[in-house]
Amino acid sequence: MQESMRKLGILFIILAMVLVLNLSYLQVFGQDGLVENPANTRRLVEEYGISRGRIITADGLVVAESVKSEAPFAYRRSYAGGSVFSHVVGYDSPQFGRSGLEAHYNDFLLGRKPSRGWVEEMTSDLDEGNELTLTIDSELQAAAAQALGQRGGAVVAMEPKTGAVLAMYSWPTFDPNALVSQALDADGNLAADALMRAYAQDPTSPLFNRASMGLFTPGSSFKVITAAAGVDAGIPVDTFYDCPAELAVNGSSVVNYAGSPDGSMNMDTALTFSVNTYFAQLALALGGDLVDYAQRFGMNGVPPLDYPAVSAAFIPQAGEMDDVELAWTGAGQGRLLMTPLQLCLAGCAVANGGKIMVPHLMKDVRRGDGILERYEAGEWRAPISADTARQVLNMMVDVVEEGTGSAAAVSGITVAGKTGTAEVEGQQSHAWFIAIAPAENPTLVVAVVVENAGGGGTAAAPIARELIEAALK
């Protein structure tokens, strides 16, 4: 009997030790996991008991703020900017989590960052978050939405000297207010649940930010990088190639777009009129250097934008391409994939003397009248020399003044640009345009893609023109 009691006592001691060790582990090592567990409703009640900081555009429009709500949550988000800002700002929902800048700057908006002093941490509860000011200009964002309209695609506008993102719009878009609403339908179910299911099943993917995540064949807009690579590698702008309408390459061929000139021409003329067979020969002359330069511009890597959903543009490695694919790659076709953000960054290099600044959406973080954190501009890459950037910029001016980009011309402003018409198998081409203005002292770079819209000069260039007019006029 005593032996049985002794064994039972040992068992209880072991169980107690296991319990203590488990609790200690949870307190020390597992705390973050418990806090972030979606099933932890206490965490949600605590977070939605904080008046989350406002999100404000650079020109002072409040696009997100916390308003009083009903139990169990003290606050919910309200989005005055609606669908025009939805991809940039994102949403903050107890049911669906967070997206966009609501996710990326969550700790700042909840007041957890920057860290408060230990005295304040010990003596006061955290009941109000910090305010986030964006680089986005509300009027330019609205202009992008109006210009793109209800056509699939995206617009990105940046300030090349600082990397500030001035506009980032994608369509189709979504209603963030409906997603965070706690309203019930006639059956007593959360109405937002049905809406989220509809968004998730929609083949047009309205929750998908095409500006930073959409990967499209860039077409002739990529010729800006091919031209920059050629000039920087020592191939002069006045290098002439014989450019037939159809160029034979290893038993295959590269063909020009209908209406493109042929015959002997230099790089300036070829870029002005988007001659495929010139850039095919330039790519073959560059060989693997074309890939190296594309990667200097940031391709095959994720741009360091302070945003949670950014895709890497893609170019195959030189060893993975035969001459036919390399030739077509120089003209902007093949397996190339680019986001509008990446094309805009390439334009920034041309506009900013060969340097690409780190792209950013945060201008500063404030609490009351005090600035807690301010974004400091910094260089990300320098893919080409200042002289190369100047020569490519001059060629892009000719594209708008004499060539395929005439629809982007703005009276009184010197605009540089490049069209892109990207062939899509079985569908109409994607339309691209990249614009820099004013060319004498660039303060704006705009990249546009319109899905299955035809030519870049007719579908995308006018959108860039509208943004230039909104920003500079």
Q: Are residues 433 and 296 in the same domain?
A: yes
Contact 307, 106 (CB under 8 A): no
Q: Who's near 412: CB < 8 A, 6+ residues apart?
A: 473
Distance, in Å, from the CA atom of 173 to the CA atom of 192, rounded to the nearest integer, reads 16
Q: Are residues 227 and 127 in the same domain?
A: no
Sign of CA dihedral 466, 471, 472, 473: positive
pTM over 0.95: no
Residue 8 located in a structural domain: no
Q: Is the bond preceding residue 462 a cis peptide, omega within 30 degrees?
A: no
Report the amino acid identity of residue 331: A
Residue 465 located in a structural domain: yes
Domain tally, the chain: 2
Q: Are residues 115 and 238 in the same domain?
A: no
pLDDT at 169: 98
Distance, in Å, from the CA atom of 365 to the CA atom of 306, rounded to the nearest integer, reads 13
The CATH number for 107's domain is 3.90.1310.10
Per-residue HEC secondary structure of the chain comes to CHHHHHHHHHHHHHHHHHHHHHHHHHHHCCHHHHHHCCCCHHHHHHHCCCECCCEECCCCCEEEEEEECCCCCCEEEECCCHHHCHHHHCCEECCCEECHHHHHCHHHHCCCCCCCCHHHHHHCCCCECCEEEECCCHHHHHHHHHHHCCCCEEEEEEECCCCEEEEEEEECCCCHHHHHCCCECCCCCEHHHHHHHHHHHCCCCCCCCHHHHCCECCHHHHHHHHHHHHHHCCCCCCCCEEECCEEEECCEEEECCCCCCCEEECHHHHHHCCCHHHHHHHHHHHCHHHHHHHHHCCCCCCCCCCCCCCCCCECCCHHHCCHHHHHHHHCCCCCCEECHHHHHHHHHHHHCCCCEECCECEEEEEECCEEEEECCCCEEECCCCHHHHHHHHHHHHHHHHHCCCHHHCECCECCEEEEEEEEECCEEEEEEEEEEECCCCCCEEEEEEECCCCCHHHHHHHHHHHHHHHHHC
Q: Are residues 114 and 242 in the same domain?
A: no
Q: Are residues 246 and 190 in the same domain?
A: no
Q: Are residues 127 and 229 in the same domain?
A: no
pLDDT at 122: 47
Q: Are residues 341 and 316 in the same domain?
A: yes
Closest CA to 466 of 169, 160, 142: 142
Sign of CA dihedral 58, 170, 463, 396: positive
Q: Are residues 191 and 218 in the same domain?
A: no
Residue 36 located in a structural domain: no
Residue 142 located in a structural domain: no
What range does the domain containing 111 cover?
A: 42-134+174-202
Closest CA to 460 of 413, 424, 422: 422
Residue 163 located in a structural domain: no
Cα 89 → chain centroid: 12
Q: Are residues 430 and 291 in the same domain?
A: yes
Residue with tokens 């309200």: 78
DSSP-derived pairing of the beta strands 55-56 and 131-134: parallel
Residue 371 located in a structural domain: no
Token pair in block for residue 107? 């700790």
Residue 161 located in a structural domain: no
Q: Are residues 431 and 300 in the same domain?
A: yes
pLDDT at 125: 56
Largest CA distance in the chain: 107
Q: Are residues 302 and 274 in the same domain?
A: yes
Q: Are residues 194 and 264 in the same domain?
A: no
Q: Who's near 359: CB < 8 A, 6+ residues apart?
A: 158, 163, 165, 303, 304, 305, 341, 345, 380
Residue 31 located in a structural domain: no
First to last CA, the chain: 97
User: pLDDT tens per residue, the chain (473 residues)?
Assistant: 566 667 666 777 887 777 767 666 655 555 555 455 555 566 777 887 789 999 999 999 999 999 998 767 888 999 999 999 999 999 999 999 999 999 999 999 999 987 665 545 544 556 789 999 999 999 999 999 999 999 999 999 999 999 999 999 999 999 999 999 988 888 888 899 999 999 999 999 999 999 999 999 999 999 999 999 999 999 999 999 999 999 999 999 999 988 899 999 999 999 999 999 999 999 999 999 999 999 999 999 999 999 999 999 999 999 999 999 999 999 999 999 999 999 999 999 999 999 999 999 999 999 988 999 999 999 999 999 999 999 999 999 999 999 999 999 999 999 999 999 998 888 999 999 999 999 999 999 999 999 999 999 999 999 999 999 999 98
